[in-house]
Amino acid sequence: MSKGQLYPTEPLKSWGMAKKAREEFYLDYRDCHAKGGIRWAGGAWALDALTYGLGDDVFSITSEPYGASCAFNKDIAMKCMETAEKYGYARDLCAYMRIYWGSVLTKGTYPWGGDYPIPDFIYQDHICCSHAKWYQVIVDHEPQIPMTCIDVAPGPFMPGTDVQIKPHQVKYVADQMLEAIEWLEKTTGRKFDDEKFIEAVKTECINTSTWANICVLNKAVPAPLDEKTMYSLYVLNTLCKANKRITPVLKEVYEETKDRVARGIAAVPNEKARVMSDTQPPWGFLKVFRYLERYGVVSIGSLYTFGLMGIWEVKEDGTWGGRTLPWEKGIEIKTREQAAYVNADWNLSKPEFQHFYHPKYKTRMMTRIAKEWKLDGVMLHYNRGCEGLSLGIAENRLGLLKAGVPVMIFEGNMGDEREFDEVATMARIDAFMETLGLKKDY
């Protein structure tokens, strides 16, 4: 027993599987041309199920997780950002975007070796202020790359609540997807396969609902997972949420996490208090989460880790859980039109989409997490690197305080270490821990 230990702990066995799946994603993207495959780029929220209709040898790179991976390596991140700045792009823009641009513009910065592999086409969505501009700049520098973009902002949608979406709003997105099929066929010269598309739509529903159900298991005390570990797991859906290769990995994580709950295995063996964070962490400083553990504090996740790629609904008992799969509710997916509609409807209910419409939705979801996951406090990251997800965060703070949840804020940047003050942040954590009545175990 280590000092302060209250619960048994053990490493998460499926972590290695997840890590391997992540690495394969980046290598497949880089190497697929050698096997006649196609590679494309777009955001993590791109409606990527569509691209599976082009065949099994089509691989993507998703720009935000790519930016995060680079950010974890501070040298690469700095090289990329300084390159983007030399080209004249402002330092206060999205950090992932600047890193991505810098990676495209700089030789030898692909973290898995070599130069950044230029995509054959760009297929993006647009809800964040940076989304479409992100790739517009890429096309400015690489004008041979064809690009299309889908607007996914028809309105808020929170399944199981009073915030409902109307069919014509879903159709607005689904119709764009159907148009994009024609564009993809013309751009790649390949015939679109409806069966593969339908299979990908179903796979995405399974993968994203499974992730939500994994997060639900973290309601247990002690928490079976901690947020730092969850970053290595949630990322799979940010890379290829409609890919059937990650389904067994997520199922394995789910089963193992369920088993940990049954056996009382803790992620943080001295768990005495529970918090959540908010948006992307400062990726180069994940030691923040290990520092919390010295106080016996586990971060059980965040709206970001739960809702960036988990799809949720409010269940009949009033709790939050993975959204019911469409076919379990009798919804048919037999045609390309049905598949596009289901996929649009599914994606529009993404929790992290909602606060683009109003901060009250995010406050509502965070307050729910604070209650259902039995939290003692919340750490809000005023993330200067992400205008989109930081939008309304000061309103969220007020809303959480009003709901009786203690809140600590810290300023930083998910990708730009120049805007993160490690010493000041640790000092602020110390103060917050003291206000929660906690003392260091070691």
Partner 1 sequence: MITAGVDVGNKFTKVVVVKGGKVVSKAMTATGFDPAGAANEAYDKAVSEAGIAKGDVQKVFATGAGAIEAKFANDTVTVVSADAKGAYTLFPAARTVIDVGAEEGRAIRLNDQGKIADFAVNEKCAAGAGSFTESMARALEVPLEEMGPLALKSDKTIPMNAQCVVFAESEVVSLVHAKTSKEDISKAVHDAISGRVVSMARRVGVEKELVMIGGVGRNVGFVKCMENGLDGMKATVLDDPEYVSAIGAALLAAE
Sites of contact with partner 1 (CB under 8 A): 401, 406-407, 409, 411, 421, 424, 427-428, 430-431, 434-435
Query: Which among 364, 376, 386 has a CA at the least distance from the CA of 408?
Result: 376
Cβ at position 430, least distance to partner 1 in Å: 5
The answer to whether 236 and 247 have CB atoms below 8 angstroms apart is no
Cβ at position 431, least distance to partner 1 in Å: 4
| Residue closer to partner 1, measured from CB, 107 or 418 | 418
Cβ at position 411, least distance to partner 1 in Å: 5
Cβ at position 402, least distance to partner 1 in Å: 11
Cβ at position 437, least distance to partner 1 in Å: 9
Query: How far is it, in rounded angstroms, from Cα 410 to Cα 393?
Result: 11
Query: How far is it, in rounded angstroms, from Cα 83 to Cα 102?
Result: 5
| Residue closer to partner 1, measured from CB, 177 or 407 | 407
Residue 391's contacts (CB-CB under 8 Å, 6 or more residues apart) are: 355, 356, 359
Backbone angles phi, psi at 281, to 5 degrees: -80, 170
Beta bridge partners of 302: 277
Cβ at position 425, least distance to partner 1 in Å: 10
Cβ at position 420, least distance to partner 1 in Å: 9
| Residue closer to partner 1, measured from CB, 55 or 406 | 406
Query: How far is it, in rounded angstroms, from Cα 78 to Cα 311?
Result: 34
- Name the strand (E) or helix (H) holding 332: none
Query: How far is it, in rounded angstroms, from Cα 208 to Cα 309?
Result: 6
How is residue 94 written in tokens?
A: 């999205």
| Residue closer to partner 1, measured from CB, 139 or 431 | 431
388 SS3 class: helix
The answer to whether 319 and 426 have CB atoms below 8 angstroms apart is no
Query: How far is it, in rounded angstroms, from Cα 389 to Cα 105?
Result: 26
Distances (CA, A) of 346 to 288, 313, 342, 373, 424: 34, 11, 6, 24, 41
| Residue closer to partner 1, measured from CB, 57 or 422 | 422
Cβ at position 4, least distance to partner 1 in Å: 16
| Residue closer to partner 1, measured from CB, 194 or 430 | 430
- Determine if the peptide bond prior to 222 is cis (ω within 30°): yes
| Residue closer to partner 1, measured from CB, 315 or 428 | 428
| Residue closer to partner 1, measured from CB, 262 or 424 | 424
- Alpha carbon dihedral 66, 72, 75, 81, in 10-degree steps, equals 50
